[in-house]
Amino acid sequence: MLSKKLFWLLGIGGWLAVWSLASVLPVEAASMKAQVFITQAKIPTGLSEKALIGFARTNHQKLLHETKTDPVKERKWQAQMVISFTRAVDDLEFNVLFYDVHDGPRRFVDDMSVMVNKKTEKTFVQRLTLDRPKFKPNRNMELVVTVKREEVGRLKFGVLGEEIKRSGTVDFSDEETGAKKK
C-alpha cells in the first residue's frame, strides 16, 4: 500500500515538474509583443518615443490608398509603419511578412527585413512601399512581425486602388499578330 502511494506521489511530482518547465519556456519566448501602426500621414520630426506612438495611434489607417501619379500598372501603396515592442528586440533584425487574407486562409505575398541600429531600441519607424503586381488592389492584407521566428505582432489592413480595366475584346488582325500578307 505504501509503495502504491509513493509511486502515485512520484508520478504526480514528475508530471508537475515537466508541466512547470514546459509552461515557463513559452511564457519567456512569448513575453515580447509588438504594437503595429500604419499611417500615410507625414510623421513630424523630433518626436519623443511616447509622442511618436501617440501620433501613430491617432493617425493609424486600416485602408491604404494607392498613388495616383503613375499609370495604373505602375501604381503602389506608400506608408509609414511604426512598431513598438514591449522590450528591446535584442537581435540584429526583425522580419515583417505580408499575407493576402482576402479569400480566407493566409497567402504569402512578400517579406521585409528591418535591420536594428541599436539593440536597446523598442520603437521603430519604417517606410513601406507595396508594389504592383505583387500587391493587388482592393484586397484585405495581414502584416505579421516576427523576431527570431516568433510571431510578436500582427495587423490587418486593406489596400484600395483602381483595378486594371480590360475591354474583353480580342483582335486577331494581321497588324496585331505580325503575320505577313501573301
The string of DSSP codes covering 74-122 is G-EEEEEEEEEESS---SSEEEEEEEE-TTSS-EEEEEEEEE-S-TT--
The pLDDT of residue 170 is: 73
The pLDDT of residue 28 is: 47
The pLDDT of residue 2 is: 59
Residue 12 β-bridge partners: none
CATH superfamily of 31-160: Macroglobulin (MG2) domain (2.60.40.1930)
Non-local (6+) Cβ contacts of 81 within 8 A are 36, 37, 38, 96, 125, 126, 127, 128, 143
DSSP letter assigned to residue 5: H
Write out the chain's pLDDT in tens, 182 residues. Answer: 556 665 555 556 555 454 444 444 444 445 899 999 999 999 999 999 999 999 999 999 999 999 988 888 889 999 999 999 999 888 889 999 999 999 989 999 999 999 998 888 899 999 999 998 899 999 999 999 999 999 999 999 999 988 877 766 776 776 666 666 65
Q: How far apart are CA 93 and CA 95, in angstroms?
A: 7
The pLDDT of residue 25 is: 41
The pLDDT of residue 137 is: 92
Q: How far apart are CA 131 and CA 136, in angstroms?
A: 9
Non-local (6+) Cβ contacts of 121 within 8 A are 88, 89
**Which pTM value belongs to this model?**
0.72
The pLDDT of residue 22 is: 46
